Amino acid sequence: MIPGVFEYYAPTSIREAVDLLARHGEDAKILSGGQSLIPLMKLRLATPQYLVEINRIRGLAYIREGDGVLRIGALTRESDLEESDLIRTRYPILHDTSKVIADPLVRNLATVCGNLAHGDPANDHPATMLALGAELVAVGPKGERRIPVASFFTGPFTTALTPSEILTEILIPIPTPGSGGAYLKLERKVGDFATAAVAAQVSVRDNGMCERAGIGLTNVGPTPIKARKAEDFLHGKPLDAAAIRQAAQLAAGEAQPTSDLRGPAEYKRDLVRVLTTRALEKARERAGGGR
């Protein structure tokens, strides 16, 4: 399958890329990993007239901690995240997520930021970033701004980014001691989108009280869903089996699944309940062992 005709640019700086995007507006798309965009272009579901490839901009592929945050750059690949010792040991929820995205070959090109910027409710990182309370850095013609991930996903395949902005960095607050998280996904086969998936991140005090809970849901609504009722319910409660059961019921109620080839809506809703239970249990277990 051959994509439609487009003009191609390969800028070497963010400024240059933003200028190109500003000039071409909604007719332009950013190409980074391309593992979602190129399939859409081959099916002619996307027909951008201009492609701005950002892979030649130096210094955008990194994973590092500093000033209380973990920073992930625009060109960090899913495989970079999957293979990072820092991520595996200190952010297992991110490791869980990257290793169930598509397949190993796709992950060698696909970027973490692209997984968010594409705005697909079936993508996996949105739920994880909602659970972690990430902030996203966008650079546009007027400079840089920070967008809380909770207000980033505005509709199906639609985000808070303007057509002339680039998502340059993800900022994740470094979890306090006693924090842990997990991402659990049910997929029909390797490479498929989730039937449903749940990300949970908790901070637990020494006395067993839940200080903070973040819960994100994948592919059970028009956007990735932040399960606020479940999060609020857990706040200040002992993170025991009864509280987890109740929170999982609330999260299932917050899901907005539709019936499709992956299953009927009510099945998916119950799957959210089961996966939320298991994700919270795993998050609690990991919180007990330090981060």
Partner 1 sequence: MLVHVTVNGEKHEANVEPRLLLVHLIRDVLRLTGTHIGCDTTHCGACTILLDGRPVKSCTIFAVQAHGREIMTVEGLEQDGKLHPVQEGFSQEHGLQCGYCTPGMLMTSSAFLRKNPDPTEEEIRWAISGNLCRCTGYVNIVKAVQFAAAKLRQGGA
Q: Which of 14, 69, 109, 274 binds partner 1 (CB under 8 A)?
A: 109
Specify whether the CB–CB gap between 42 and 3 falls below 8 A.
yes
Reading the block at residue 281, the tokens are: 């249990």
Among 65, 105, 158, 258, indicate the residue that binds partner 1 (CB under 8 A).
105
To the nearest 5 percent, what fractions of the chain are helix, strand and coil?
A: 35, 25, 35
Strands (E), 42-102: 50-53, 63-66, 69-73
Residue 137 Rama label (left phi>0; alpha psi -120 to 50; beta):
beta
Question: What SS3 state is found at 51?
Answer: strand
CB closer to partner 1, 101 vs 171? 101
Contact 249, 273 (CB under 8 A): yes
Distance CA 280, CA 289 (A): 14
Query: Would you say 45 or 242 has its CB closer to partner 1?
Result: 45
Complex with partner 1: residue 145 or 188, whichever CB lies closer:
188
Cβ contacts of 240 within 8 Å, gap of 6 or more: 208
Establish if 34 lies at the interface with partner 1 (CB under 8 A): yes
Site for partner 1 (CB under 8 A): which residue of 13, 25, 26, 42?
A: 42
Contact between 261 and partner 1 per CB under 8 A? no
Up-side HSE of residue 236: CA atoms within 13 Å toward CB? 2
Size of the site for partner 1 (CB under 8 A): 29
Window 66 to 85, contacts with partner 1 (CB under 8 A): 79
For partner 1, the closer of residues 190 and 242 by Cβ is 190
Instruction: Supply the minimum distance, in Å, between the C-beta of residue 108 and partner 1.
Output: 5
103 interacts with partner 1 by CB under 8 A: yes
190 binds partner 1 (CB under 8 A): yes
Q: Decide whether 102 or 250 has the Cβ nearer to partner 1.
A: 102
- CB of residue 68 to partner 1, shortest distance in Å: 32
- The region of 5-13, 160-168, 218-226, 261-269 touching partner 1 under the rule CB under 8 A is 5-13
Backbone angles phi, psi at 60, to 5 degrees: -105, 5
Between 2 and 261, CB nearer to partner 1: 2
- Cβ-based neighbours of 187, under 8 Å, separated by 6 or more: 100, 193, 194, 195
217, two tokens: 């849901």
Given the complex with partner 1, which of 47 and 259 has the nearer CB atom?
47
CA 27 to chain centre: 25
| Cα Rg of the chain, angstroms | 19
- Interface with partner 1 includes 3 (CB under 8 A)? yes
The piece of 30-38, 116-124, 172-180, 276-284 that touches partner 1 (CB under 8 A) is 30-38
Q: Applying CB under 8 A, which residues contact partner 1?
A: 1-8, 10, 31, 34-35, 38-39, 41-42, 51, 53, 55, 79, 102-106, 108-109, 190-191
